[in-house]
A and B are shown apart, each in its own frame.
Chain A
Amino acid sequence: MTRTRFLIAFVIGLALLPQLPVPEFWITQANYIGLYTLVAIGLVLLTGVAGLTSFGQAAFVGLGAYCAAYLTLSFGVSPWLTVWIGLAFTGVVSLVLAWITLRMSGHYLPLATIAWALSLFYLLGNIDALGKYDGLLGVPALRFFGIDLNTGRSFFYLLWALVVLAAIAVTHLLDSRTGRALRAVKGGTTMAEAMGVNTFSTKVTAFVLAALLASVSGWLFAHFQRTVNPSPFGLNMGIEYLFMAVLGGVGHVWGALTGAGIVVAMKDQLQVLLPKLLGGSGNYEIIVFGVLLVLVLQYARDGLWAFVESRLPRAQRKVDWADAPALPERARPPHGEVVLDVVAARKEFGGLVAVNDVSFQVCAGEILGLIGPNGAGKSTTFNLVTGVLPATRGSVSLRGERIDSMRSRDIAKRGVARTFQHVKMIPGMTVLENVALGGHLRGSRGVASAMLRLDRAEERQLLKEAEKQLRRIGMAASMHELAGNLALGPQRLMEIARALCADPTLLLLDEPAAGLRLKEKQGLADVLRQLRGEGLSILIVEHDMDLVMGLVDRVVVMEFGTKLIEGTPDVVQASPAVRAAYLGTEH
């Protein structure tokens, strides 16, 4: 494992650095890098993984720092207690902010964090008890088992131990059930919700975790600088944190370290160079930072670490789940029971009636084909059944239970799995991990157990199930490939495996054969027949008539949002109305 060796070498290098006769200034700089890395790791989680952004991380650092400084100075509280108080306080504040802004579309969160960073800055600068803009002086050094951490070198060890722990914990988190959910949220909520992920609480989790990391950095900052004042917690610093993450590479934990290191080193050089060049004095380095930020986004969107990453060998996941116990399966409904019952479902978009009082049923152990010309309302019908869109009128029931007013993830919980007309996946994860996302609801482990690796037993079960479904669909050979590297046909098959990984009662397939070659289509048909034999109900939308007519038990034909006819393939193929719908009528 090259990566593990790399990590060990890095840790040894870190441990040796303060013992070497390097100038004190180096140690100070390394400490700042560590403090900033903690915050930037939070941004990796937030921006790179979950697709959210905050310019207010410096404000969370400020909360942690002021908590530490104020409580130790005014009440003599031990620093080992203030760190927890700071975390609790930051947690509450970030929860409130997240709860308010994360319900809305993505750009409101960063705007809110800008406003919040500004108001906290002015608030800290105007409160008498916090020393106004002068801040609080004389914060004591930390004591760790009798050792005073009052020098840069002694402080270095505590700080970097925490940085390495945070990096490992976040890396573990990303490779877990919660980690997959976090990544799924980035591409929009429809797919994640269909997999049973509570996207709102997942986003809140990412935001709060990032805030907590910043708070720890603040606590360390207060005891390192021994003084706090509002200026390092203002909006500019918040923007610099984001700059570090983007520059280093917002998709990787190592990117955070790279970015923090480069920014600290660059800032030091620029603060000497630019005033000489431009005359006068001031924080001219922000010109360079600003221009660089734009250039990085234009030319190297994945950051500098991505260049290193692409040269590192990609570690293939070790198959360690061979003898993991199988996940429990849902009891199948008896053959012939009505599983899905759509009664007079109707969907209006303004004046347009997309689905016009359509009724049909799907029974256990049956494949129902839903066909019709483009624009007939097939995909809208799908969205009504899966809870992506609320029906205007009518009812949709699953095994006798009304599901038409439920959220997607609650419908998924009841055993409805689906694929999408336009493939929705996480291109940066392997095929196996993408499929394992489908089993989200069959696991229960959360953030803490993922960080501490207490989730491995469940994780092995999930991965075993994912491999099983991939094998069934004939894709076991490519399970370690990145999903984004697959051709369209295999991507569609992967979506089916992902849906099967949820152990569904009802499977909804939206044009599964589009982009498949003949052999793959035949393979797909065989798998679907086998699933039907196991008592699964399948609703399939498809344009390939050979496939549909040879596969399904019954067909529902839709045209202009209305159900035209329902019957066996023979009846439908013979119907003049269907011919007219597809080919037009002679006049």
Chain B
Amino acid sequence: MDFSIASILMLDGVTNGAIYASLALAIVLVFAVTRVIFIPQGEFVAYGALTLALLQLGRVPGTVWLLLALALLAAVLDALAALRRGLPPGRVAVSAAKALAVPVVVTALTWWAAPQNLPLLLQCLLTLAIVTPLGPLVYRLAYEKLADATVLVLLIVSVGVHFALTGLGLVFFGAEGFRNPSFWDARFSAGALTLSGQTVIIFMVSIAMIIGLALFFERTLRGKALRATAVNRLGARLMGISTSGAGRLSFGLTAFMGALSGLLIGPTTTMFYDSGFLIGLKGFVAAIFGGLASYPAAAVGALFVGLLESFGSFYASAFKEVIVFTLIIPVLLWRSIQHGTQDDEE
């Protein structure tokens, strides 16, 4: 290996690492706020990339129907619960209508926009509008009822959600892969190193996402409420913070970050309905670097995973997944030696 190959691999690794970093941050965020180990994070990545791919083909993506169906189901469940609590039917109907407004508008918009062949940027925004609301709905339907269950039960729920979303991905997008067009075809050369416009966009957006998240947590009331919930759920509730609201918000953020990551890598790799899972799990390996608790450690872990993957695929391309996922063992060993035995009371 000479310097130029090394630098190409390095660039490749850091680019993927940037994506993994945003996924890892989302995973840490969701775990901190809701104690949910959100395995299906990768499905949002696949949904983001493939929803855009179908829009590019001028078709209405199935994710829209999923959005509408989940929203209806959630609205019906909420309405039934409200009626059982004895709320007046008028008020129940109004809040159901409110809850359904966004999904219905998004569906109608997509239905109209799909054949119009809109500019790429608008299609990207539409994709985000379709996938992001899926996050809170998934939280509402799968997790909210179990909010006080153990981490282990929530983890098994996550695996169930992963199964359902992957299977639905197959229904919506079929078994063949898609590769999205590049956002920016520019190329910058620096010696042996070529920087594509897409790489630049990945860096810029990932960094913007991380800074945006930091600002959200530091500067906004909602962000602070999420942090409070992460520290102490009961305490936060006593301060008037709705923990289920916090859960929905964190799931919304994670779906947004997943979909955005999907849009970013769509042009660099061929995406299949189940590709998201492996990508999301690499985010997990990164998040475990920080013990599912530290944002900076997760980001560093993500860069490391990206680099390991790109160098691993150079040296032993067939074994690149083996290398990445076996890495979790020494990381866990390192953490267990560092932290010793932990007791988790239930």
Contacts and interface: CB of A to CB of B under 8 A. Distances in A.
Interface of A: 47, 51-53, 55, 97, 100-101, 103-108, 110-112, 114-116, 118-119, 122-123, 126, 186-190, 200, 236, 239, 242-243, 246, 278, 280, 282-294, 297-298, 301
B124 interface: no
Given A105-B342, A239-B163, A297-B146, A112 B321 contact: no
A104 B159 CA distance: 21
Given A282-B175, A301-B153, A290 B163 contact: yes
Given A55-B159, A294-B157, A114 B332 contact: no
Contacts of B161: 290, 294
Contact of A110 (B145, B152, B167, B319): B152
A115 B164 contact: no
A108 B291 CA distance: 9
Contact of A126 (B156, B160, B319): B319
B167 A106 contact: no
Nearest to A103: B336
B160 A294 contact: yes
Contacts of B285: 115
Contacts of B319: 122-123, 126
B170 A282 contact: yes
A105 B344 contact: yes
Given A118-B321, A278-B171, A282-B170, A110 B155 contact: yes
Contact of B37 (A100, A104, A107): A107
Interface stretch (B10-18, B125-133, B323-331): B323-331
B156 A114 contact: no
Q: Is the interface of A mostly helix, strand, loop or mixed?
A: helix
B183 to A, nearest CB: 31
Contacts of B342: 103-105
Top 4 A-B pairs ranked by shortest CB distance? A290-B163, A290-B164, A293-B160, A287-B167
B344 A284 contact: no
A103 B344 contact: no
A160 to B, nearest CB: 28
Contact of A111 (B37, B146, B318, B340): B37
B318 A106 contact: no
B332 A297 contact: no
A186 to B, nearest CB: 8
B142 A119 contact: no
Given A280-B174, A293-B157, 7 more contacts: A100-B332, A119-B326, A123-B319, A290-B159, A290-B164, A297-B149, A297-B157
A290 B336 contact: no
A529 to B, nearest CB: 34
Given A101-B332, A110-B152, A126-B318, A118 B163 contact: no
A119 B329 CA distance: 11
A569 to B, nearest CB: 35
B241 interface: no
13 contacts: A52-B152, A100-B333, A104-B341, A107-B155, A110-B155, A115-B285, A126-B322, A280-B174, A284-B170, A290-B166, A290-B167, A294-B142, A301-B153
Nearest to A245: B156
Q: Is the interface of B mostly helix, strand, loop or mixed?
A: helix
Nearest to A123: B322
Contact of A51 (B39, B152, B159, B288): B152
A317 B160 CA distance: 38
A297 B156 CA distance: 8
A190 B171 CA distance: 48
Contact of B156 (A115, A246, A284, A291): A246
Q: Which of A52, A105, A188, A246 has the most chain B CB atoms inside 10 A of its CB?
A: A105
A190 B345 contact: yes
B342 to A, nearest CB: 4
B179 interface: no
Contacts of B162: 239, 290
B187 interface: no
A301 B156 CA distance: 11
Contacts of A126: 318-319, 322
B328 A294 contact: no
Contacts of A287: 163-164, 167-168, 171
Nearest to B162: A290
A293 B161 CA distance: 8
A293 B165 CA distance: 13
A51 B156 CA distance: 12
B346 interface: yes
Contacts of B170: 280, 282-284
B332 A108 contact: yes
A213 to B, nearest CB: 20
B82 interface: no
B284 interface: yes
A107 B335 contact: no
A294 B37 contact: no
A284 B322 contact: no
B281 interface: yes
Contacts of B165: 290
Contact of A286 (B152, B163, B175): B163
Nearest to B165: A290
A239 B292 CA distance: 22
Given A107-B151, A190-B345, A287-B167, A112 B156 contact: no
B339 interface: yes
A103 B168 CA distance: 37
Interface string B304-326: 00000000000000110110011
Contacts of A111: 37, 284, 288, 328
A284 B167 contact: yes
Nearest to B159: A239
B281 A115 contact: yes
Contact of A122 (B150, B171, B321, B340): B321
B2 interface: no
Contacts of B321: 118-119, 122
A190 B329 CA distance: 27
A326 B342 CA distance: 37
Nearest to A280: B174
Interface in B262-282: 278, 281
B185 interface: no
B168 A106 contact: no
A177 to B, nearest CB: 23
A126 B328 CA distance: 20
Contacts of B345: 187-188, 190
Nearest to B284: A111
A255 B326 CA distance: 33
B210 to A, nearest CB: 23
